[in-house]
Structure 1
Amino acid sequence: MHLLSQKKWPILIGLAPAIIVYFLFAIIPIVISFYYSLMDWDGFTKMTFVGLANFKEVFNDPIFWQSLKNNLYVLAASVFGQVPIALFFALLLNRKLKGGKFFRTVGFMPVVISTVVISLVWGMMYNARIGLFNQFLKIIGLEQWAQNWLGDPKWAMVSVSITIIWQFVGLYLIIFLAALQNIPQEIYDASEIDGASGLKQTIYIVLPMIWDTIIVAVILCISGSLRTFDLIYVMTSGGPGHATEVMAMYMFDKTFSSTRYGYGSAISLCIFFFSLALIYISNLILRRKTV
């Protein structure tokens, strides 16, 4: 504590640039959104105070609830798809398999590829006439399983979610690998002496030691899922019939296409508070969980 008090000012000076940037680009826009959400404004004419009318309209709009439902679908697919798959492959690669570096590179590659490129490539793969998936089904004699993957409301959200899972598995793979490699070898040796090896070692030794990392990964999944926009916008533009429209797209459409900045700000605040609530609840549940 004495050392911290001596170094207080250098620490504050070092943190100042990051705090200023965060304040300018995160805190201030949120405060401004609060102000705009109480107004009726098209971006050009004079603002009109409407109180909570924008929020009332949001809650009475069925498209908003549909976009929320789609967001929850993406969230569930991300948390229960990306995290377990990434953890599984991280555990495999942590065993120093031959070619491990190659697989780590390949696994992380989708994360750094442009989302627009990924959307276009997967969109072509899902194409109903010449897409890779339908062509493969025809080759193996399952032509009746071919679908209009992005044009059918029953399959569009599933197809988009698979793409999102594929894109970000590599990110959590690297996070889990870093956590696993920080576990001292002595702990593995001691657990083997006590008779814990293989699956038992993973469940009772490894997972508890990286549990905080898993919590962070889940929180990143939740926040990322609720910000999903570009991939779905390029692949389906929210269609067919709002079947893949998420809250960020709904906000974008109402704010910039319909030039309703007050209404769009109200939607953004709903997303903000919904995100905070989900992150708080998930953190509460996971912190109490014992492995």
Structure 2
Amino acid sequence: MPSRAKLVQDAFADESVGSHPASSSIADRRPQRRLRDSRATAFALLLPAIAVYSVFSLLPIVATVWISFTNSHGFNTEAQFVGLDNYVRAYGDSIVWGSLARTFLWLFYHVVLSVGLGLALALAVSSLVRGKVFFRTTLFLPHLVSLAVVGVIWANVYDPFYGLMNSVLAKLNLAWLEQGWLSDPLLVLFSVNVASSWQGFGLYMLLFMAGLQNLDPSLYDAAEVDGANAWQKLIHVTLPGLREVTTFVLSLAMINALRGFATVFVMTAGGPFYASEIISIYIYHLTFQVQDHGLAAVLCILMSVIAITITIAFNRWRARRAV
């Protein structure tokens, strides 16, 4: 017959064995509960931002899409559903196609002028032994000026009677180069883009200078040993080393170019004779002057599609270049 101590020991053993599955199941549920609690906490913290984003971004997008299918002519007028009529009108509007072509030309001008000038100045300033901080700060100052103020400044620079541009040309005995910079349909878009690029090149210059500081100096020493001149070092060492920075600067420049409304509006408002009428200016005219909100909404959607397409294409190109 077993002793009392043996019976007590067996009883505790049986109790521990019987309670083990329950305790293990509770322990298994604790990480899941913590995960649910953390997700609930994260959602609660994100809820204000989601609400603000929905009110100021998602709802306007949905409203724009809806307006594009209506004949809305004002905020206080009753709009009726017209289907794809606005899209058909946009397709047949010659001003839409002209403004779209000028938008792509504006994009090309801005990328070439601002990025090219930023790279050239970054190379020049980085090669200085003294005064590097002074020139870097001075050349960056235009970027701190708003585009509207830049438009006012350059409109006075281009003034055909007392503007700085024609005055300097006259002083240099180059009066034959004097132009109506903002009144010539062939020059106006380029002239306005010069002002916009002048405001933006400072940021690109700083980005390129940051990339130049990260280049390995031993690469230049090896190039000199191989007998490379300054041009060869630029082509085979500097530019390949700036590949990642260049792709980022190009993407940033294209985004900024698509937002080129303020400078054009202040300097020319799309004139003369639609010569500087980019798509954003035409959207403004349709919305606030013609009160054709349906067609304006179609062009807003078109601009969004263009921006998304350019972004996707550029990212794929950058990914292929990185391989």
- Settle same-fold status: TM greater than 0.5: yes
Shift of 1:84: 2.0
Shift of 1:268: 0.4
Shift of the 143–193 alpha-carbon distance from structure 1 to 2, 3 Å rule, reads: closer
Identical residues among aligned pairs (%): 29
Query: Which stretch shifts more, 139-148 or 242-251?
Result: 139-148
Aligned residues: 284
Shift of 1:227: 1.6
Shift of the 21–81 alpha-carbon distance from structure 1 to 2, 3 Å rule, reads: farther
Which residue of 1 is the match for residue 221 of structure 2? 192
* Counterpart check, 1:131 vs 2:163: yes
Q: Distance in 2 between matches of 1:133 and 1:91?
A: 27
Shift of 1:266: 0.8
User: CA contact under 8 A between 2:68 and 2:297: conserved in structure 1?
Assistant: yes
Which residue of 1 is the match for residue 24 of structure 2? none
User: CA contact under 8 A between 1:226 and 1:247: conserved in structure 2?
Assistant: no
Shift of the 190–264 alpha-carbon distance from structure 1 to 2, 3 Å rule, reads: closer
Structure 2 matches for 1:236-275, cutoff 5 A?
236-275=268-307
Q: Distance in 1 between matches of 2:46 and 2:209?
A: 29
Shift of the 221–19 alpha-carbon distance from structure 1 to 2, 3 Å rule, reads: farther
Which residue of 2 is the match for residue 28 of structure 1? 59
Of structures 1 and 2, the one scoring higher in RCO (CA 8 A, sep 6+) is 1
Q: Distance in 1 between matches of 2:145 and 2:232?
A: 37
Task: Tell me the amino acid that sits aligned with residue 82 of structure 1.
Answer: S
Q: Distance in 1 between matches of 2:184 and 2:298?
A: 31
User: CA contact under 8 A between 1:90 and 1:176: conserved in structure 2?
Assistant: yes
Q: Distance in 2 between matches of 1:101 and 1:255?
A: 46
Shift of 1:86: 0.9
Q: Distance in 2 between matches of 1:115 and 1:47?
A: 35
For residues 85-138 of structure 1, the C-alpha deviation after alignment (integer angstroms, 9 at most, x for no partner) is 212222333345311111111111111112222111111111111111111222
Q: Distance in 2 between matches of 1:249 and 1:266?
A: 14
Shift of 1:288: 2.7
Which of 99, 118, 121 is the aligned partner of 1:86? Answer: 118
Q: Distance in 1 between matches of 2:184 and 2:87?
A: 31
For residues 244-265 of structure 1, the C-alpha deviation after alignment (integer angstroms, 9 at most, x for no partner) is 0111110011012122222211
Query: Which stretch shifts more, 266-275 or 38-47?
Result: 38-47
For residues 136-160 of structure 1, the C-alpha deviation after alignment (integer angstroms, 9 at most, x for no partner) is 2222222122111101111111211
Q: Distance in 2 between matches of 1:166 and 1:96?
A: 22
* Counterpart check, 1:51 vs 2:83: yes
Shift of 1:191: 5.2
Q: What TM-score comes out, normalization by structure 2 length? A: 0.78
Which of 11, 27, 37 is the aligned partner of 2:68? Answer: 37
* Counterpart check, 1:220 vs 2:252: yes
Shift of 1:17: 6.0
Identify unmatched segments of 5+ residues in structure 2. 1-34
Task: Tell me the amino acid that sits aligned with residue 32 of structure 1.
Answer: A
Shift of 1:77: 0.9
Q: Distance in 1 between matches of 2:165 and 2:174?
A: 11
Shift of the 247–204 alpha-carbon distance from structure 1 to 2, 3 Å rule, reads: same
Query: Which stretch shifts more, 241-250 or 276-285?
Result: 276-285
Q: Distance in 1 between matches of 2:133 and 2:55?
A: 40
User: CA contact under 8 A between 1:74 and 1:225: conserved in structure 2?
Assistant: yes
Secondary structure at 1:39's aligned position in 2? coil
User: CA contact under 8 A between 1:115 and 1:230: conserved in structure 2?
Assistant: yes
Q: Distance in 1 between matches of 2:267 and 2:243?
A: 35
Which residue of 2 is the match for residue 150 of structure 1? 182
